[in-house]
Amino acid sequence: MVPDHRLKTPVIPLAVRLFLGFVFLYASVDKILHPAAFAETIYNYRILPECLIHWVAIILPWVELLLGCFLILRMWLPGGSFLSTLLLLIFLGSVAFNMARGLDIQCGCFSTSEERIHGAPMLWYVVRDAAFLLLSLYLFLDTLLGRRGSVSPKM
Amino acid sequence: MKNSIDQKSILQILSQAGMILILAATLGILVNEARPGKLSLWLTGGSEKQPVLGVETRMLISLDEAETRFLRDRALFLDARSPEIYKQAHIMRARNLPWEAFEQYIGTVMADIRRDRFIIIYCDGQTLSVSGDLAVALASRGYKNVHVLVNGWNLWLANELPIEAGTPAHARLREMDTQHGS
């Protein structure tokens, strides 16, 4: 009997892709609705020069929204998973950098509200972002090695 | 099954990522331009309405209110600029708490100030974030009534409000304490 390969759905990459997609979608909503508050969050990181803060506050949430959509819809997966990995690497680096220099700030990853998870230390954000990064890296490498191509026309 | 990473794959990855960024930038800028209270993409100095990043809206104070509180002596004015600039001229009765030496000065400058005192911080328009940084730092130290007069020094001068030069009495006492090691 010839095995039906259509039944062998790659569950893990599918789950990772959908999970990351919805994480990005969720993360983008509050930032798109409250750009001024997000700009303040970026400012609190004390990393970017002031002239760039508003640019990032305006554009980054839409990068997250599009990444979320493309990951869920399995569009432009090579580029999307690469950008997702790069973005998460930058987020992780920013949080870790501030933790290393003793700045206790609100992450701003999912909400621009002043409140953050009660009692959550900066280390929690580092661990969480590191986990997201590993998932994204897995998805990127899985895509790169040609097992999961994009359904959209090749660019 | 393709297992190698070739030049075509790299090109595909970069072009797709680039397109996502361009699309996001376009959407972001268009939506920003269409919304009321949009973020300014080109920050410039010299106006009271300029946003002070890091400072909540409720911390900002208008020149009118600052002047009223000054005339009634209902606020402590803090000059966030450097001591050298402060000595040249500052708002009358203002104390100097330079952001550049915050940790060094806060103990003496704020020693006799209650946590609920109404405080107005100012600097000049060329150093946007200094007064904002000082306000945030004081708020984190428990001062609950901290406010920022954006571009305060320039506005105060332009409206010919009272200023003074030199080192006020309280600062001279501080200098003497420092010299005598107390």
**Tens digit of each residue's pLDDT (9 = 90 or more) over A119-151:** 456 788 889 999 999 999 999 999 988 654 444
A133 in contact with chain B, both atoms CB, cutoff 8 A: no
pLDDT higher at B124 or B70 = B70
Judge contact between A72 and A137, C-beta under 8 A.
no
Question: Is A154 a member of any domain?
Answer: no
Q: What is the mean pLDDT of residues B39-66?
A: 63
- CA diameter of chain B: 82
* Residues in chain B whose Cβ is within 8 Å of chain A: 1-3, 5, 9, 12-21, 23-25, 27-29, 31-32, 37, 39-41, 43, 51, 53-54, 56, 128-129
Q: What is the mean pLDDT of residues B87-92?
A: 93
Place of tokens 């003497």: B176
Residue closest to B97 by CA, chosen among B88, B112, B109: B109
Q: Residue ranges of the domains in chain B?
A: 1-38, 57-181
Q: Mind listing the pLDDT tens digit for each residue in A56-69?
A: 999 999 999 999 99
**This prediction's pTM:** 0.59
Q: What is the mean pLDDT of residues B3-10?
A: 73
Q: For a pLDDT cut of 90, what percent of chain A falls above it?
A: 48
pLDDT at B177: 56
Question: Is A139 a member of any domain?
Answer: yes
pLDDT at A151: 41
Judge contact between B140 and A114, C-beta under 8 A.
no
**The pLDDT of residue B57 is above 80:** no
**The pLDDT of residue B71 is above 80:** yes
Residue closest to B64 by CA, chosen among B117, B138, B120: B120
Indicate the average pLDDT of chain A.
Answer: 81
Among A22-26, A36-40, B102-106, the range scoring the smallest mean pLDDT is: A36-40
To the question of domain B57-181 being in CATH 3.40.50.880, the answer is: no
A127 contact partners, CB below 8 Å, separation of at least 6: none
Question: Is A1 a member of any domain?
Answer: no
Question: Is A117 a member of any domain?
Answer: yes
pLDDT higher at B9 or B44 = B9
Q: Going along B43-149, which residue ranges are E strands?
A: 76-79, 90-91, 95-96, 119-122, 146-149
Interface test mutation site (partner A, options B5, B6, B16, max chain A beta carbons within 10 A):
B16
**Considering only CB atoms, which chain B residues are within 8 Å of A50?**
43, 53, 128-129
CA dist A21 and A80 (Å) reads: 10
Asked if A35 lies within 8 A of B19 by C-beta distance, the reply is: no
Question: Is A3 a member of any domain?
Answer: no
CA dist B8 and B152 (Å) reads: 57
Q: What is the mean pLDDT of residues A101-108?
A: 60
pLDDT tier for residue A29 given thresholds of 50, 70 and 90: very high
pLDDT at B21: 97
Question: Is A155 a member of any domain?
Answer: no
CA dihedral A102, A105, A109, A111 (to 10 degrees): 170
How many domains does chain A divide into? 1
Q: What is the DSSP string of B76-98?
A: EEEE-S-HHHHHH-EETTPEE--
Nearest by CB to residue A146, choosing from B3, B17, B20, is B3
CA dist A130 and A89 (Å) reads: 8
A58 in contact with chain B, both atoms CB, cutoff 8 A: yes
Distance to chain B for A114, nearest Cα, Å: 10
pLDDT at A56: 93
**The pLDDT of residue B65 is above 70:** yes
**The pLDDT of residue A75 is above 60:** yes
Residue closest to A144 by CA, chosen among B14, B27, B64: B14
Question: Is A59 a member of any domain?
Answer: yes
pLDDT tier for residue B73 given thresholds of 50, 70 and 90: confident
